[in-house]
Amino acid sequence: MSTFLSTCATASNFCDFANPIRPSVHDVVTDGTKRQIVKLNEFGIRECGWEF
């Protein structure tokens, strides 16, 4: 995930197309997927001003 963020998108164009990931209580995800979701959402909060 961090490779994608650092090589394929700058913060400005990332913010143009990306949205926060908000899993429901019914979603079943692995610990690795949870970590990736948190990293993506933290980046979006920091760089795009996402709010939850």
Between 2 and 47, where is the model more confident? 47
Q: What is the pLDDT of residue 17?
A: 94
List, for residues 1-27, the tens digit of each pLDDT value. Answer: 555 555 566 667 999 999 999 999 999
pTM: 0.72
| Measured distance CA(6)–CA(39) in Å, rounded | 12
Q: What is the pLDDT of residue 8?
A: 62
Q: What is the pLDDT of residue 52?
A: 86
List, for residues 23-40, the tens digit of each pLDDT value. Answer: 999 999 999 999 999 999
CB 37 within 8 A of CB 23: yes
CB 18 within 8 A of CB 48: yes
DSSP of 1-52, one letter per residue? -HHHHHHT--HHHHHHH-------TT----HHHHHHHHHHHHHHHHHH----
Task: Calculate the dihedral angle through the C-alpha atoms of 9, 30, 27, 44, rounding to the nearest 10 degrees.
Answer: -20
